[in-house]
Amino acid sequence: MGIEACKALYIDTYIHTHTHTHVHTITSFFCRCLLAGAVGTHGGGQCISTSETTYFLKCVHCVSLLPLQLLCHLLCILTHVSLLTPDFDPGLGLMTGITPINPMMPGPGLAPRPLPQDAPVVREIVHCKSCTLFPPNPNLLPPAMRERPPGCKTVFAGGLPENATEQLIVEVFGQCGEIAAIRKSKKNFCHIRFAEEFSVDKALFLSGYHIRLGSSTDKKDTGRLHVDFAQARDDLYEWECHQRMLAREERHRRKMEEDRLRPPSPPPIVHYSEHECTQLGDKIKDDNTFPEAVRVLMTWLERGEVNRRNANNFYSMIQSSNGHIRRLTGEKSQHEKEVEEAKDKFRTAMATILAQFEEIVSVFNAASKQKAWDHFSKAQRKNLDMWRTQVEKIRNMHNEQLMCIRGEEEMEMSDDDMEDSSPFNSVSQAEALKEENDSLRCQLDAYRNEVELLKQEQGKNQPISSEEDNTHSQQLSFLQEALQGMQKQLLRMRDELKEREAELEKNMEDKQQLKNQIHDLTSGLQNLQTTTAVQVRRKQARIIATFLHVHPFGASIEYICSYLQRLDTKINTGEVEALLSRLPCTFRQELTGVGASLEKRWSFCGFQGIKST
């Protein structure tokens, strides 16, 4: 049997073992093309018939509906075929952009750059010095993996052969990256810590591979690798340190950005000297440089630069600063005058505009009279009515605006008066509002009566001329507008009256509460003073009783006071004598001596009643 027949037999057997029907068909077709030289080379060989090509296209459509794992398995088979075909150029792959991937390839090509979701992954056999790694069946589901811990550099490697040594682990996983530490267990698993994080991704690619030591098929020399993420305190600590370093760098960057965008600092204040003092005095006198010079003067005063030698200089500078008050006051009054003039001009202009509106309304009213109204056509009368309505609306709007301006000025004046007056004037203001409310109510009733009379007269005098009707209708409209204005003003005055009454009640309640608090504080203070005085008198009585008990023949009031003054310097002779007089059952006054030697003595008699009983 030739080499080509052996290759075809091996390929067909491998395909039948590992693939489904459509995958078998499409894979066999590609392999025949490879062996025949139809794909990848331009040499001679077998020819593919038209019927086989049609069937191949149908199989391609079916294969496109298969899962991604089966397609990956198909590419893995084709890769094995390409390895069996010496003259096949891998650079001219069957599908553009798909090349065999070796997980043991050094460099960070696999770890940092994740593979696309739709890109098939081709795994191949990995030959090591003392073992061989066979790729897993692509039809099987990928093994379950735990969530990746932050900063993970440690992997769990299970399913190791029983005869596996640490040297074998280094040989297999050392190609993924530099290994920092290995912790091997007796139960066919170990923990491997790499120096870099991307090495973990390379090591995870070996999960599911079958490992065989040498060419032995013994159970102790084979195993199925299971690689997964592992949690380690060292990884978490290094990750936290790295995050803190990034946070520090971010804070440093932000601080530099803020410093760059921060406005420049003001120029430093010069130190005091005679020369600087002279220049500062000239700057203070100048209106343009006055603000900056005043800041320098204030800084010098705060620093304590004033002494006996330069006190006159500082006094002159302060005097110059004070001289600007007159200028600032004049500028303020000038600006206020300009504001008042502008307000006066505005009010005058508004009044002029309003007067012109009144004249225009008078023109329309004159045109509405019968002498002129009958000569206009129907369309002209319609336009005149519309124009008059618009003019009256604009006039009323400007009139309300002018009234609002006057009301604001009156409110400002009333606010100033309220600030100057005491809070007790709220009662008189409430009374004034009540009187004004009553007068407005009377005016409103009068307007209503007048409107009713006009309506009655209009009903009685129906056959009167249209001129009188127009006059009455105009008067009626004016009275209605005035009535509406009075109603609005009455409602506004009622609201103000209610607000003032509520404010007055609140002030009265606050006043009553303050009176109650003052009364409570006064009574408490009196009780405290009374209690304190009683306690002091009791204490003094006990001390005097003890003192007189030691002196059975009595003691004078001066002697007693001199003893008490050693304890309290505020003791008064009159108070002590009054205290002894108020307690006749405890203290008794005796007279000793004759004539000029007559002396009053106080003695303690508290125990005499007890002895007599």
Q: Calculate the CA 517 to chain-centre distance.
A: 42
Contact (CB, 8 A) for 211 and 222: yes
Domain boundary among 215, 231, 247: 231
pLDDT (0 to 100) of residue 363 = 87
Q: What integer pLDDT is reported at residue 552 of this predicted model?
A: 81
- ∠380-384-390 over CA atoms, to 5°? 145
Q: What percent of the chain has pLDDT over 70?
A: 71
Q: Which residues pair with 227 in a beta bridge?
A: 157
More confident of the two residues 508 and 462: 508
pLDDT at 420: 52
Task: Give yes or no: residues 38 and 125 share one domain.
Answer: no
Residue 214 domain-assigned (yes or no): yes
26 has a pLDDT exceeding 60 = no
pLDDT of residue 457: 66
Same domain, residue pair 32 and 128 = no
For the cut 60, the answer to whether the pLDDT of residue 608 exceeds it is yes
Of 461-470, 543-552, 594-603, least confident by mean pLDDT is 461-470
Q: Is 162 helix (H, G, I), strand (E, B) or coil?
A: coil
Q: Which residue did the predictor score with more confidence, 35 or 407?
A: 407
Task: Give the chain's domain count.
Answer: 4
What average pLDDT does the structure give for the chain? 76
pLDDT of amino acid 24:
47
User: Per the domain annotation, does 472 fall within a domain?
Assistant: yes
Rounded to two decimals, the pTM is 0.31
Q: How confident is the model over 228-257, as a mean pLDDT?
A: 94
pLDDT of residue 9: 42
The pLDDT of residue 248 is: 96
Amino acid identity, position 605: C
From residue 62, how far is each of 55, 56, 141, 596 by CA, in Å? 11, 10, 21, 149
Beta-carbon neighbour count of residue 316 at 10 Å? 13
- CA-closest candidate to residue 159, choices 209, 216, 213: 209
Read off the pLDDT of each residue in 17-24 and give the average, rounded to a whole number: 44
Range of weakest confidence among 57-66, 82-91, 350-359: 82-91
Which of 45, 79, 100 is where one domain is finished? 100
110 and 216 both lie in a single domain:
yes
Nearest to 70 by CA among 138, 162, 133: 138
pLDDT given for residue 237 in this prediction: 94
Q: Is residue 122 part of a domain?
A: yes
The pairs formed by 19-22 with CB atoms below 8 angstroms and a separation of 24 or more are 19/70, 19/73, 19/74, 19/77, 20/66, 20/70, 22/59, 22/62, 22/63, 22/66
Q: What's 111's DSSP letter?
A: S
pLDDT score at 519? 85
72 pLDDT above the threshold of 80: no
**pLDDT for residue 103 is more than 50:** no
| Cα dihedral across residues 389, 392, 397, 398: positive or negative | positive
Give yes or no for residue 568 having a pLDDT over 80.
no
Question: Does the pLDDT at position 117 exceed 90?
Answer: no
For residue range 121-167, what is the model confidence (pLDDT) as tens digits?
667 888 888 898 899 888 888 888 899 999 999 999 999 998 888 88
Torsion of CA 34, 36, 42, 44, to 10 degrees: 170
Contacts of 576 (CB under 8 A, 6+ apart): 540, 544, 557, 560, 561, 564
Residue 502 lies in a domain: yes
Same domain, 111 and 63: no
Distance CA 134, CA 114 (A): 23
pLDDT at 191: 94
Rounded to an integer, the average pLDDT of 18-33 is 48
- Check residue 38 and give its pLDDT: 38
Q: Three-state SS for 449?
A: helix
pLDDT band per the 50, 70, 90 thresholds, residue 5:
very low
Using CB atoms within 10 A of its CB, is residue 11 exposed (0-12), middle (13-18) or buried (19+)? Answer: buried
| Number of other CB atoms surrounding residue 498 within 10 Å | 11
Among 173, 198, 231, identify where a domain stops: 231
**Percent of the chain surpassing pLDDT 90:** 12
Residues 223, 368: one domain? no
Nearest to 92 by CA among 7, 28, 34: 34
Same domain, 11 and 127: no
In a domain? residue 307: no
Of residues 590 and 425, which shows the higher confidence score? Answer: 590
- Residue 77's pLDDT band (cuts 50, 70, 90): low
Check residue 413 and give its pLDDT. 63
For the domain that residue 216 is a member of, what is the CATH number?
3.30.70.330
Residue 474 lies in a domain: yes
The pLDDT, as a whole number, for residue 19 is 43
* Alpha carbon distance 589, 583 (integer Å): 11
Query: Is the distance from CB of 402 to CB of 350 less than 8 angstroms?
Result: yes
pLDDT(32) > 60: no
Does 14 lie in the same domain as 119? Answer: no
For residues 121 and 227, membership in a common domain is answered with yes
Average confidence (pLDDT) over 92-117? 42
**What is the three-class DSSP state of 602?**
strand
SS3 state at 193: strand
The full DSSP string for 289-317 is: SHHHHHHHHHHHHHHT---TTTHHHHHHH
User: Tens of pLDDT along 496-507?
Assistant: 888 888 888 888
Residue 341 lies in a domain: no
Cα separation values, 259 from 8, 245, 247, 264, 271, Å = 75, 21, 18, 9, 27
pLDDT band for position 43 (50/70/90)?
A: very low
Query: What band does 34 get if pLDDT is binned at 50, 70 and 90?
Result: very low
**Structural domain of 198:** 105-231
Across 87-101, 126-140, 224-238, 476-490, least confident range: 87-101
Which comes out higher in pLDDT, residue 610 or 90?
610
- What is the structure's pLDDT at 227? 93
Whole-number Å distance between alpha carbons of 530 and 523? 10
Q: 504 and 368, same structural domain?
A: yes
Predicted confidence (pLDDT) at residue 379 exceeds the cutoff of 70: yes
- 371 and 487 co-located in one domain: yes
The answer, yes or no, to whether residue 104 has pLDDT greater than 70, is no
Round to whole Å and give the CA distance between 100 and 123.
7
Considering the domain boundaries, does residue 54 fall inside one?
A: yes
Answer whether 601's CB lies under 8 Å from 558's CB: no
CB neighbour list of residue 466: distance below 8 Å, 6 or more residues apart: 370, 373
Q: How many CB atoms lie within 10 A of CB 15?
A: 20
pLDDT, tens digit, 9 for 90 and up, residues 541-550: 888 888 888 8
d(CA 80, CA 236): 42
Write the single-letter amino acid at 300: W
pLDDT of residue 152: 93
Same domain, 226 and 120: yes
What integer pLDDT is reported at residue 240 of this predicted model? 94
User: Would you place residue 4 in the very low, low, confident or very high pLDDT band (cuts 50, 70, 90)?
Assistant: very low
Residue-level pLDDT at 514: 87
Q: With DSSP H G I counted as helix, E B as strand and the rest as coil, what are the percentages for the chain, rounded to 5?
A: 65, 10, 25
Pick from 111-125, 139-153, 238-252, 472-486 the range whose average pLDDT is largest: 238-252
Same domain, 90 and 137: no
pLDDT band per the 50, 70, 90 thresholds, residue 218: confident
pLDDT at 67: 52
pLDDT in tens, 305-355: 889 888 888 888 898 888 888 888 889 999 999 998 998 888 888 888 888
The most confident of the ranges 1-5, 88-92, 454-458, 586-590 is 586-590
Q: Using alpha carbons, select from 590, 585, 586 the residue that is nearest to residue 602.
A: 590
